[in-house]
Amino acid sequence: MGRMRIMGRRGDSVVEWNQETADAAQKKFDEFLTGGGLAFKADKLGGEAEQVRSFDPTAEELILVPQLRGGC
């Protein structure tokens, strides 16, 4: 089972998937990246993370971060 943490203005949301629900998780992942967000694959809690550009159904945890916006 994998977990996708999606950062947002109102806090995090969590999507968990297994073999049967991986397609729905991938759709959410793809929509998030199409909107300008970034995705990172985390090895273990507190471990290093690497940026990814495609959904990995074998990932333990994916972290999705919205696009940062500057300005006043």
For the chain, the domains span 2-65
Tell me what pLDDT residue 72 has. 62
CATH 3.10.20 is the classification of domain 2-65: yes
Q: What is the pLDDT of residue 46?
A: 64
CA 51 – CA 18 distance, rounded (Å): 22
Task: Report pLDDT digits (tens) over 6-47.
Answer: 998 888 999 999 999 999 999 999 999 999 999 999 876 666
Output the CA angle 15-19-2, nearest 5 degrees: 40
What is the C-alpha to C-alpha distance for residues 57 and 38, in angstroms, rounded to an integer? Answer: 17
| DSSP letter for each residue of 40-61 | EEESSTTS-EEEESS--TT-SE
